[in-house]
Structure 1
Amino acid sequence: MPIIQVNMIEGRPPEKVRALIENITDTVVETLDAPKESVRVLVNEMPKTHWGKAGIPASEKK
Structure 2
Amino acid sequence: MPLVRISMFPGRSDEKKQQLAQEITECFERVWNNKPEGITIIFDEVEKSDWIVGGVPYSKK
Fold shared per TM-score above 0.5: yes
In the alignment, which residue of structure 1 is the partner of 2:22?
A: 22
The whole-number CA distance in structure 1 between the counterparts of 2:43 and 2:35 is: 20
Report the number of matched residues.
61
- Percent identity over the alignment is 30
Structure 1 runs of 4+ aligned residues shifted over 3 Å read: none
In structure 1, runs of 5+ residues without a counterpart are none
Q: Secondary structure at the match of 2:43?
A: strand
Instruction: Give the structure 1 partner of residue 46 of structure 2.
Output: 46
Q: Separation in 2 of the partners of 1:46 and 1:24?
A: 20
Q: CA deviation at 1:37?
A: 1.1
Q: CA deviation at 1:2?
A: 1.2
1:29-60 CA deviation, whole Å, 9 max, x = no partner? 11110111111111111111110122111111
> What's the CA shift for 1:10?
1.2
Q: TM-score, normalised by structure 2?
A: 0.88
Structure 2 runs not aligned, ≥5 long = none
